Amino acid sequence: MILRFFYTIVLFLLSPLLLYSLYKKKEGKPPFNKRWKEHFGCTPLLNNTQNPIWIHAVSVGEAIAAIPIIKALNKQNPEQPILVTTTTSTGAEQIKKLGDLVEHRYMPIDFCFAVRGFLKATKPEKMLIMETELWPNTLHTVAKFGIPISVLNARLSEKSFLGYKKVQPIFNLLGKHLTHVCCQYKDDADRFVALGIQPEKVHVIGSVKFDIEITQQIQESGINLRTLLGEDRPVWIAASTHKGEDEQVLAAHRSLLDKIPSALLILVPRHPERFNPVFELCQKSKFCTIKRSSKQIVTESTQVYLGDTMGEMLTLIGASDICFIGGSLLGDKVGGHNILEPVALAKPSLIGPSYFNFQEITQQLINNNTVTISHNATELTNSLIAIFQNEQYKNNLRENALSFMNKNKGAVVKILQQINKI
């Protein structure tokens, strides 16, 4: 009680900065408009009077990970209402694509009064948290309402584990309210148990990210885009790049063009507010660049195709021959992004040396000869050339990717089994 009291005071003092960051206008970021009130528990009543299953997915990555679970829950029981909360407006945009399958609300800030207002308006029967978005007052209030709480697709890196260990009493406040913790890997599970979660609550179910659904529509859109880009030219994509990384990617592409002049780079910055700055960087670097949003015709002289749209990553990857995953060439600043999307599309994949956010998955892929590490721009260029110029090598990488994905699918089924036990 005392710990939560002091935590709430600190949160109150910091909340103006947090809210400023959340509501700050950025190019490409959808506005909250009048819905900002939902962050304070002023939540509109749901359209359905039944108690919903509540899934919280803080932002874009968690929202994408939640989609296979949402679809599986709906298929299991079409009459069961599903409520999804996100903290960010970009996360809300991802959930919006599900249409009438779910209702969306913004997650209340971690003040007890805000969470109570939300719960009274929505009356969920259970709470499912994607990955590890744990807030003391939220968990306390939800548990006080008698609502079971499960963490799905949970991961806990060594870095996060050590951080929680330093504030063990605060983690004890969090852990005691959890009903199930469905972890991606045994290492994650061991860390949760080491932090005091009862072993019987912790389950290893794999990652839902292996259950990526590559629909016929996605495949066709990738094929159609590739036709526009040029079916015979070598195409590679740098996906989810960060500031300071685009320069390295463009340097690698410049060197690649010296060897393979017809090569095309699809460059996709991680955050939409960076679309225009990266476009300006490409132009400043003397690359003939076209924005996807401009709908301009790609010609033989086009060297960079900027992916400046949201929600089309699978299409863009599908149109490429090789995929480099960003957030991995910046030391320990980011720690990489999900590499399973290109693997699911059977694309030879490259990543930088920093991938601690996806340590277990990436290491498995490396051991499986599916993913190649490139430590810098020079190595990135060399890896690209090696794949582009050796068709047999490229085909082997594709086959390894398909085999790996097929072997690791099934986490969503296991998650549903745990949810049904609640």
> Residue 401 corresponds to which amino acid?
A
Are 282 and 250 in contact by the 8 Å Cβ rule? The answer is: yes
CA gap 161, 42 in Å, rounded: 34
CA gap 330, 190 in Å, rounded: 28
Active site annotation includes 341: no
CA gap 369, 114 in Å, rounded: 49
Residue whose structure tokens are 């085999």: 403
CA gap 338, 362 in Å, rounded: 9
CA gap 205, 129 in Å, rounded: 15
Q: Exactly one of 27, 38, 62, 341 is catalytic; which is it?
A: 62
CA gap 97, 100 in Å, rounded: 9
CA gap 252, 382 in Å, rounded: 9
CA gap 142, 149 in Å, rounded: 8
Residue 249 tokens read as 């990617």
Are 307 and 271 in contact by the 8 Å Cβ rule? The answer is: no
Radius of gyration of the chain (CA): 22
Residue 274 tokens read as 């960076």
Question: Which among 258, 271, 288 has a CA at the least distance from the CA of 384?
Answer: 258
> Residue 176 corresponds to which amino acid?
K
CA gap 294, 183 in Å, rounded: 42
Helix (H, G, I), strand (E, B) or coil at 15: helix
CA gap 257, 416 in Å, rounded: 48
Length of the chain as a residue count: 422
Interstrand relation of 322-325 and 235-241 (parallel, antiparallel or unpaired): parallel
- Measured CA distances, 249 to 141, 286, 326 (Å): 46, 14, 9
Q: Mind telling me the catalytic residues? A: 62
